[in-house]
Structure 1
Amino acid sequence: MAYKDEQLNEEKVFKDPVHRYIHVRDRVIWDLIATPEFQRLRRIKQLGTTNLTFHGAEHSRFNHSLGVYEIVRRIIYNFKDRAHWNNDERLLCLCAALLHDLGHGPFSHSFEKVFKLDHEYFTQQIILGDTYVHGILERVRPGFAQDVADVIGKTYSDKLVVSLISSQIDADRMDYLQRDAYFTGVSYGHFDMERILRVMRPTEDQVVIKSSGMHAVEDYIMSRYQMYWQVYFHPVTRSAEVILSKILHRAKDLYENNYEFKLKPTHFLSFFSGDVSLAEYLKLDEGIVHYYFQLWQEEDDFILRDLCERFINRRLFKYVEFNPNKQMNEWMKLHKLFQEIGIDPEYYLVVDSSSDLPYDFYRPGEEEERLPIHLLMPGGGLKELSRHSDIVESISGKKRTDHKLYFPKDILENIEDQKKAKEIKEILYGQGDVFDAK
């Protein structure tokens, strides 16, 4: 029997709090899960610093990746006898679903921004490089690893396959909304996934939804909207992310200025220099990052020491609402005052912005072209979702942005220059309420 068709002697299951059970029968999938590259995802949290806001959010990219695989497995099972579905793509879809987040680094998006990295690039490098994952995929057939990488990179020729992993209603989103809602303890991310899976239909280019399932999709989109603003963009989580990114910026700046660390930051050197090999990338996980943060609390540099102590012990920055379009003069005054009293505004006066577009229809030529969700009408025609749903139409194409100004209130309370302290507080507190990051 060819490796691609090899089945386990008995089905393996993972007990899962979201999907109840995750089922594995393919030898290829079982072997991929056992690789060091996939096991590394146990050491990467799904939600970065969100556990400092929602204490239950300790779940990992490993959990999520298995969940996405399970949803795709169930979709494929429902598609197996339908027109437009090529069952020869079954294993490719399952592998791409399982491995789609393989390249995430510690603290994911915050880490990427500081070091100008792209987790999708590293996902493809792991799949195509000298790794255990690559060896397993190539055993299926020569070129199979490239096909998996192409699906994840959205360049694979069969757009239906790509849409299962990456679209506005894909397995990735359906898993993380429910999983993140479960572990954060909120109710926003719950929707009727069973109904959505039942009304999904394959077409030549993408998955569509039977019109009778429109209300389940409306619920899904509103759940996504609420999760972004109530969980993913929570201002306290963003305070932790600000401190995290400033720690990494400070360590990089010190290294570039020949600062002598008490312990050489070996695991970070290639990231500081911007020349990261795949092997070095795979060695860095959140356990290693926390180890350095613990040690950097003893560094001679005040800024690095203070920021690490804040992150480790959850002494986060406070924040006020801030409108960069109307309040830049105030920010410039604050910037100057911080410098005058010896507080580095580069690290202690930070504007953070978050924005989201919950649903959009196709806009050719834009930076991120979004394929719309189509409804399959009773007569067989397709209709774009927002043209049929008043709820979705009301938020379609509308980008919401939120700005916060973060600062260390505890340091400001102990400024010796009372005149400047008064000026700073008048500007900051004149923005409105000062919110504690609790």
Structure 2
Amino acid sequence: MAGRFGILDEEKVFKDPVHRYIHVRDELIWELIGTREFQRLRRVRQLGTTYLTFHGAEHTRFNHSLGVYEIMRRMIENMEKKEPLWDPEERLVCLSAALLHDIGHGPFSHSFEKVFHTDHEEWTREIILGDTEVNRVLSGMGADFPKKVADVIAKTYTNKLVVSLISSQIDADRMDYLLRDAFYTGVSYGQFDMERILRVMRPTEDQAVFKISGMHAVEDYIMSRYQMYWQVYFHPVTRSAEVILSKILHRAKELYEKGYEFQDKPKHFSSLFAGKMTLEDYLKLDESVILYYFQEWQEEKDPILQDLCCRFMDRRLFKYIECDPSVQMEIWPELNQLFTKIGLEPNYYLVIDSSSDLPYDFYRPGEEEERLPIHLLKPNGDLRELSRESDIVEAISGKKRTDHKLYFPKDLLEDKSKFAEEKQRILELLMAQEG
């Protein structure tokens, strides 16, 4: 591929606890890593509030993005050695997309997105295509190169094989975050034999497939993903922290819209609250900025914002009970009335949170979030969908698991200095639901 970048005079390496070393040989990749937009990812945690549950989970989107790049580099290296179907002209597009796939993530990622209705993939494309250092570096490979990279991340790129390597049911992104998140949280659930998976991976016109001799490694990967979601990503304590974080941002936005005079005006949020956030404004937001305001808002006059910020910063999280939303609605009016009576705003202190996951699915054309299945390559060249060969995967295929929990400040309800009868009634209602 033509462009002003070539191969570095000397290979650069990053020492990495998951992959041992991350190798950079291309000037393009080295230049992208040095951009201000990519360096910002050092200040955005990979797992949001999970560090409040698993204290080792302090790793960042920067770590993860380098890891996805390294897995992609190794995928391509394997395919270049063995497969005529692989087009070497796609190499730098793949490596750039792998490195930049998460560059649009905001602070506390998914919680932030839910409150402000932003989309990190849209911001990723804006960073790649906008007036940024990243765009200027990518443009050194040709005027159309940034769009190619953005199209891969948007899943609209013409070469579907390239898209599948970074976005499918088994891809470089998922493989790195499972291994990396397991390492930093200290759990064993996310471990699987990545070396074996890479060795048995073969390209086809539309996606990567896997030799049937490696089926057990793929099974292990699917089960690792299933366990990580329910033991780490959807951990109820992490979700409690996310609930409080979301409510802090909701409260700050509500106060701003009402003209509340903050003691420390949240200038970093002004354009966001007003719905006029520019790319430059967005790039100034990271978790150090968010935590600065949370620290300051502990001194605010508004009791709700003050309390929620103190809870988050001091890790005094909400307690939870298992919750069936259909049953819960029967007691919801009384709970809301009681919470209001004792001075707790239900919108901020009584929250149902739901999590759901579909660990593996076969092809369902036309449905939302349509998924391509994982195919196994038989010795005679035929392809076989994974769940038709694996009893383990068949048992969880297409089965969406959903979990509901109700979060509330139990410490305030156990303080009987005021409204003792009402608080006791609330606890009785909640504990009855828990069974």
Number of corresponding residues = 433
- Following TM superposition, by how much is the alpha carbon of 1:2 offset from its aligned partner in structure 2, in angstroms? 5.4
Q: Any conservation in 1 of the 2:65–2:99 contact (CA below 8 Å)?
A: yes
Find the residue that maps to 2:230 and give its secondary structure: helix
Aligned to 1:141: 142
Aligned to 2:193: 192
Find the residue that maps to 2:277 and give its secondary structure: coil
Find the residue that maps to 1:74 and give its secondary structure: helix
Find the residue that maps to 2:394 and give its secondary structure: helix
- Following TM superposition, by how much is the alpha carbon of 1:331 offset from its aligned partner in structure 2, in angstroms? 2.5
Aligned to 1:302: 303
Aligned to 2:164: 163
Find the residue that maps to 1:397 and give its secondary structure: coil
CA distance in 2, matches of 1:336, 1:174: 47
Aligned to 2:258: 257
- Following TM superposition, by how much is the alpha carbon of 1:404 offset from its aligned partner in structure 2, in angstroms? 0.5
- Following TM superposition, by how much is the alpha carbon of 1:414 offset from its aligned partner in structure 2, in angstroms? 2.1
CA distance in 2, matches of 1:391, 1:421: 47
Deviates more, 1:81-90 or 1:55-64: 81-90
Aligned to 1:51: 51
The match for 2:420 among 410, 415, 418 is: 418
Q: Any conservation in 2 of the 1:358–1:396 contact (CA below 8 Å)?
A: yes
Find the residue that maps to 1:401 and give its secondary structure: strand
Q: Which amino acid aligns with 2:278?
A: S
Q: Which amino acid aligns with 1:33?
A: I
- Following TM superposition, by how much is the alpha carbon of 1:348 offset from its aligned partner in structure 2, in angstroms? 0.2
Q: Any conservation in 2 of the 1:359–1:396 contact (CA below 8 Å)?
A: yes
Aligned to 1:436: none
- Following TM superposition, by how much is the alpha carbon of 1:113 offset from its aligned partner in structure 2, in angstroms? 0.3
- Following TM superposition, by how much is the alpha carbon of 1:5 offset from its aligned partner in structure 2, in angstroms? 5.2
Q: Any conservation in 1 of the 2:413–2:424 contact (CA below 8 Å)?
A: no
CA RMSD between the two structures = 1.1
Q: Any conservation in 1 of the 2:271–2:277 contact (CA below 8 Å)?
A: yes
- Following TM superposition, by how much is the alpha carbon of 1:4 offset from its aligned partner in structure 2, in angstroms? 5.3
Which deviations, in whole Å up to 9, do the C-alpha atoms of 1:164-211 show, x marking residues without a partner? 110000000000000000000000000000000000000000000000
Find the residue that maps to 2:353 and give its secondary structure: strand
Q: What is the aligned-residue identity percentage?
A: 71
CA distance in 2, matches of 1:159, 1:5: 26
Which deviations, in whole Å up to 9, do the C-alpha atoms of 1:109-152 show, x marking residues without a partner? 00000000000000000000000000010110111000000000
Which deviations, in whole Å up to 9, do the C-alpha atoms of 1:249-291 show, x marking residues without a partner? 0000000111000011000011111121000000000000000
CA distance in 2, matches of 1:195, 1:327: 47
Aligned to 2:176: 175
Tell me the TM-score normalized by structure 1: 0.98
Find the residue that maps to 1:12 and give its secondary structure: strand
Aligned to 1:21: 21
Q: Which amino acid aligns with 1:417?
A: F
Aligned to 1:108: 109
CA distance in 2, matches of 1:310, 1:418: 23
CA distance in 2, matches of 1:180, 1:155: 28
Aligned to 1:429: 431
Q: Any conservation in 1 of the 2:323–2:434 contact (CA below 8 Å)?
A: no
Find the residue that maps to 1:266 and give its secondary structure: coil
Which deviations, in whole Å up to 9, do the C-alpha atoms of 1:301-343 show, x marking residues without a partner? 0000000000000000001110002221122321121112221
CA distance in 1, matches of 2:314, 2:202: 49
Q: Any conservation in 1 of the 2:2–2:142 contact (CA below 8 Å)?
A: no
Q: Are residues 1:322 and 2:323 paired?
A: yes
Tell me the TM-score normalized by structure 2: 0.98
- Following TM superposition, by how much is the alpha carbon of 1:378 offset from its aligned partner in structure 2, in angstroms? 1.2
CA distance in 1, matches of 2:172, 2:138: 21
Q: Any conservation in 2 of the 1:83–1:202 contact (CA below 8 Å)?
A: no
Q: Structure 1 residues 163 and 4 mapped into 2: Cα distance closer, same or farther (>3 Å)?
A: farther
Find the residue that maps to 1:190 and give its secondary structure: coil
Q: Which amino acid aligns with 2:159?
A: D
Aligned to 2:130: 129
Find the residue that maps to 1:130 and give its secondary structure: coil
Q: Which amino acid aligns with 1:425?
A: L
Q: Any conservation in 1 of the 2:139–2:146 contact (CA below 8 Å)?
A: yes
CA distance in 1, matches of 2:423, 2:110: 35
CA distance in 1, matches of 2:71, 2:4: 20
Find the residue that maps to 2:123 and give its secondary structure: helix
Q: Any conservation in 2 of the 1:3–1:28 contact (CA below 8 Å)?
A: no
Unpaired runs of at least 5, structure 2: none
- Following TM superposition, by how much is the alpha carbon of 1:297 offset from its aligned partner in structure 2, in angstroms? 0.2
Unpaired runs of at least 5, structure 1: 434-438
